[in-house]
Structure 1
Amino acid sequence: MNFTYRFFYTLAKLILRGFYNYRVVGDTDQLKGQAGVLIVSNHESFLDPPVVGIAFDQELHYLARKSLFSAPVLGSLYRLLNSIPVDQDRPDMTSLKIVIRQLKAGDKILVFPEGSRTLDGDMLPGEPGVGLVVAKAGVPVLPVRIFGARKALPRGGALPQPSDITLVIGKLWHYDPANYSEYTGKDLYRRISQDLMAQVAELQA
């Protein structure tokens, strides 16, 4: 880990364990020894990236809104934290190609297929871009689910609240084109993303 990543990694561990009774459950063997893995999670809060990130001993890579990189200091910080800029208003293939290339190179990348944080706790449909990455990268996918982060830091500017935060680890999933032979193009990518979100939804604390 680079110095900046390790600093925020350690700080996040102290905060989440000290104030939110953070714990990791499920198939925790999946947290070790895997290279080139796409991690897919539900999206409850701004706390979600560190909630998932500190479960791993290795660095993760993250997707972040492209506009956050425009400020010199903040943009440099996001890059040191392994963030990949994404234009959420006008998505293009540039960011997706970067994600695919880094996955094939052995990086672990965290994505939130819903694209935005939940307002009411219910999961949103997965965006087709994640399905495209899965189909093109050909790497294992690890579904995880976050519980408690929405209460801890709700969407809408509310102050942090006491909450227990749990991360549930699922089992590795491998994309098999034979199981999706009836789908093509965007329908294929959307279906893959829907299936991944269904796997996330099945995980229970």
Structure 2
Amino acid sequence: MNLYKLGKFLCTVIFYPLYRIKVIGKENIPKDGPVIICSNHISNFDPPVVGITSDRNIYFMAKEELFKNKFFGGILKRVHAFPIKRGMRDRNALRQGLNVLKENHALGLFPEGTRQKNGEVGKGLAGAGFFALRSEATIVPCAIIGPYQKFKPLKVVYGEPIDMTSFRQEKASAQVVTDRIMEEIRQLHKNHR
């Protein structure tokens, strides 16, 4: 069993009963082909929770600081995470993300770039729009509705894919596309609270 599958199994047996996870709309995630799952970000547990509630193996960007420790960084790489430098344009991370999509994998993004500790949906950074415009990936919005409290229900809601055709044709800006994605996440969050 590889480390990703082992991690997914362990997180499943721990998180599902602990947070009484309820998943809605999982069928909106395509079974194959490139996909970008864009979620709001409320906790450090969000990546494993998105990972266990999707049937796809998901590649995540993680802040570069997490890779400084060689042991922990090695584990992160083996569970499909790759580093990104925060607060600047990281060409290497952008290239890696596009390669993930070119290889028909799923890329998990938290467009806000940092956790929103109040549980609300914040403003997204342009990175999500960049990947949406530069790839042929299906864009699936996701809302994590917490808080993470033991034995209290946590919802993970996957919305219908966002049609990117007009944005790609009109060569919309990355920020405009991210704003549209965040609007969908905000709507899911509001409708399923």
Q: With structure 2 as the length reference, what TM-score do the two structures score? A: 0.90
Match of 2:88 among 90, 101, 109: 90
How far apart are residue 99 of structure 1 and its match?
A: 0.5
Corresponding residue for 2:128?
130
CA separation in 2, counterparts of 1:17 and 1:74? Answer: 24
| Native 8 Å contact 1:31 1:55 kept in 2 | no
| Native 8 Å contact 2:119 2:145 kept in 1 | no
CA separation in 1, counterparts of 2:150 and 2:2? Answer: 30
State, as a whole percentage, how many aligned pairs show the same letter. 24
CA separation in 2, counterparts of 1:198 and 1:139? Answer: 19
CA separation in 1, counterparts of 2:56 and 2:121? Answer: 28
- Establish whether residue 197 from structure 1 lines up as the match of residue 182 from structure 2: yes
Give 5+ residue unaligned stretches, structure 1.
153-159
How far apart are residue 162 of structure 1 and its match?
A: 4.4
- Label 1:140 to 1:182 Cα distance change in 2 as closer, same or farther (>3 A): closer
Give 5+ residue unaligned stretches, structure 2.
none
Corresponding residue for 2:142?
144
SS at match of 1:138: coil
- Establish whether residue 33 from structure 1 lines up as the match of residue 31 from structure 2: yes
How far apart are residue 104 of structure 1 and its match?
A: 1.6
CA separation in 1, counterparts of 2:169 and 2:119? Answer: 30
CA separation in 2, counterparts of 1:112 and 1:88? Answer: 13
CA separation in 2, counterparts of 1:17 and 1:25? Answer: 14
Bigger mean CA offset, 171-180 vs 65-74: 171-180
Matched residues, number: 190
- Label 1:21 to 1:97 Cα distance change in 2 as closer, same or farther (>3 A): same
Corresponding letter in the other structure for 2:152: S
- Show CA shifts across 1:32-70 (max 9, x none): 513210000011111111111111223110111112112
| Native 8 Å contact 1:39 1:141 kept in 2 | yes
- Establish whether residue 110 from structure 1 lines up as the match of residue 100 from structure 2: no
- Label 1:92 to 1:177 Cα distance change in 2 as closer, same or farther (>3 A): farther
Corresponding letter in the other structure for 1:193: T
- Show CA shifts across 1:53-99 (max 9, x none): 11122311011111211221111100001001100133322211110
- Label 1:173 to 1:34 Cα distance change in 2 as closer, same or farther (>3 A): farther
Task: Spell out the pairing of 1:1-205 with structure 2 (5 A cutoff).
Answer: 3-26=2-25, 28-148=26-146, 151-152=147-148, 161-177=150-166, 181=170, 183=172, 188-203=173-188, 204-205=191-192
What value does the CA root-mean-square deviation take over the aligned residues? 1.9
